[in-house]
């Protein structure tokens, strides 16, 4: 199989028999708990002519047929990138390491230091990525609510407030307290690395903070796109008893929304338990993997010194 950059002439191949089918195996934050995206000729055509600053796309070609396609893009800054789309024939059984190597090369060319991939747990993409120098940073779960959201009657409230740009340092301190060191070492240890590794906003996004004793002890984030809503949150490890209240507050903020998913990282078990007790149903489990990328450094030109 040959791996190369996506070309505009690849789009018409999706109109022919034997086209690259299947669902997107890469899950970005706004798609947690949603049905997988399908690859269309129009999407391929737009991506093949998009500027490189938006991201890069590579394909694996087997003869005249496309066998795999991967797209990578920066997260919130140039140091951290993510696989935003990943399609493979036969659900990834033939996914080559060369495809992930090509993705890493694109990231290096863009000045990136790490490449993230979120994909269904123990699926073909999860296994193929681990063979291609990705390491599993942590696990996660997506919960779904199949009924209109509403706050629990008489439930406790944490009095959440909207986040402000000036809260960045407080959010970083909470990240250091709530996220295990093994995850932070993969995702970023410094403020700049953490900032760059934040996933992009998805549609209309709102973040709310909970403060106690002048310190940020938790947050909840609601991202809307059309009728879909995805929620995620983080709690300080000393505040696990507040998980039911945080779940209730998020439901109050999303009152009446009928299609909601909640993405919970593996290091937040109290939130997962609170969601189950509130009637949310487990929809899927996923793996978050990170591949370190060596920056590409141009070799300095050599010149003869005159005596």
Specify the higher pLDDT residue, 38 or 296.
38
Residues 116 and 173 in one domain: no
Residue 307 belongs to some domain of the structure: no
Q: What's the domain range around 196?
A: 143-285
Residues 132 and 158 in one domain: no
Q: Report the CATH number at residue 183.
A: 3.40.630.30
Residues 147 and 228 in one domain: yes
Specify the higher pLDDT residue, 41 or 93.
41
d(CA 208, CA 197): 20
Residue 208 belongs to some domain of the structure: yes
Residues 33 and 115 in one domain: yes
The pLDDT score that the predictor gives to residue 119 is 95
Residues 129 and 190 in one domain: no
Number of domains in the chain: 2
Residues 133 and 177 in one domain: no
Residue 237 belongs to some domain of the structure: yes
Is 90 exceeded by the pLDDT of residue 104?
Answer: yes
Residues 157 and 135 in one domain: no
Residues 223 and 104 in one domain: no
Q: How confident is the model at residue 160 (pLDDT cuts 50, 70, 90)?
A: very high
Q: Read off the pLDDT of each residue in 144-158 and give the average, rounded to a whole number.
A: 71
Residues 178 and 250 in one domain: yes
Specify the higher pLDDT residue, 213 or 16.
213
- CA distances to 35, 73, 83, 84, 222 from 131, in Å: 26, 22, 16, 19, 34
Q: How confident is the model at residue 198 (pLDDT cuts 50, 70, 90)?
A: very high
Is 50 exceeded by the pLDDT of residue 272?
Answer: yes
The pLDDT score that the predictor gives to residue 302 is 44
The pLDDT score that the predictor gives to residue 91 is 62
Residues 113 and 192 in one domain: no
Q: Torsion angle, CA of 106/24/147/228, rounded to 10 degrees?
A: 50
Residue 303 belongs to some domain of the structure: no
Is 70 exceeded by the pLDDT of residue 121?
Answer: yes
Residue showing tokens 């005249």: 64
Residues 99 and 199 in one domain: no
Q: Read off the pLDDT of each residue in 131-159 and give the average, rounded to a whole number.
A: 83
Q: What is the pLDDT of residues 229-244, one digit of tens each?
A: 899 999 999 999 999 9
The pLDDT score that the predictor gives to residue 36 is 63
Residue 241 belongs to some domain of the structure: yes
Residue 174 belongs to some domain of the structure: yes
Is 90 exceeded by the pLDDT of residue 51?
Answer: no
> In this structure, are strands 135-145 and 161-162 parallel, antiparallel, or unpaired?
unpaired
The pLDDT score that the predictor gives to residue 300 is 47
Residues 7 and 108 in one domain: yes
């Amino acid at each position: 199989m040959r791996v190369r950059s996506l070309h505009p002439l690849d789009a018409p191949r999706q109109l022919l028999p034997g086209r690259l089918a299947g669902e997107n195996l890469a899950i970005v934050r706004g798609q947690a708990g949603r049905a997988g995206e399908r690859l269309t000729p129009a999407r391929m055509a737009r991506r093949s002519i998009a500027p490189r600053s938006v991201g890069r796309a590579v394909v694996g070609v087997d003869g005249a047929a496309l066998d795999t396609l991967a797209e990578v893009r920066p997260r919130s800054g140039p140091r951290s990138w993510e696989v935003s789309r990943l399609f493979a024939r036969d659900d990834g059984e033939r996914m080559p390491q060369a495809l992930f190597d090509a993705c890493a090369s694109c990231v290096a060319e863009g000045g990136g230091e790490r490449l993230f991939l979120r994909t269904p747990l123990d699926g073909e993409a999860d296994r193929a990525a681990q063979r291609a120098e990705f390491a599993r940073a942590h696990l996660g779960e997506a919960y779904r609510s199949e009924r209109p959201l509403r706050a629990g009657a008489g439930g406790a409230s944490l009095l959440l407030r909207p986040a402000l740009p000036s809260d960045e340092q407080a959010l970083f301190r909470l990240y250091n307290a709530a996220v295990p060191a093994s995850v932070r070492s993969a995702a970023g240890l410094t403020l700049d690395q953490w900032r760059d590794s934040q996933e992009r906003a998805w549609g209309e996004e709102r973040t709310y903070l909970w403060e106690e004793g002048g310190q940020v002890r938790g947050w909840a984030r609601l991202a809307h796109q059309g009728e879909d809503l995805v929620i995620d949150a983080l709690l300080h490890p000393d505040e696990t008893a507040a998980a039911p209240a945080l779940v209730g507050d998020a439901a109050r903020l999303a009152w009446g929304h009928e299609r909601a998913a909640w993405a919970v990282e593996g290091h937040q078990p109290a939130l997962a338990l609170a969601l189950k007790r509130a009637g949310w149903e487990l929809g899927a489990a996923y793996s978050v993997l990170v591949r370190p990328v060596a920056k590409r450094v141009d070799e300095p030109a050599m010149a003869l010194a005159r005596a």
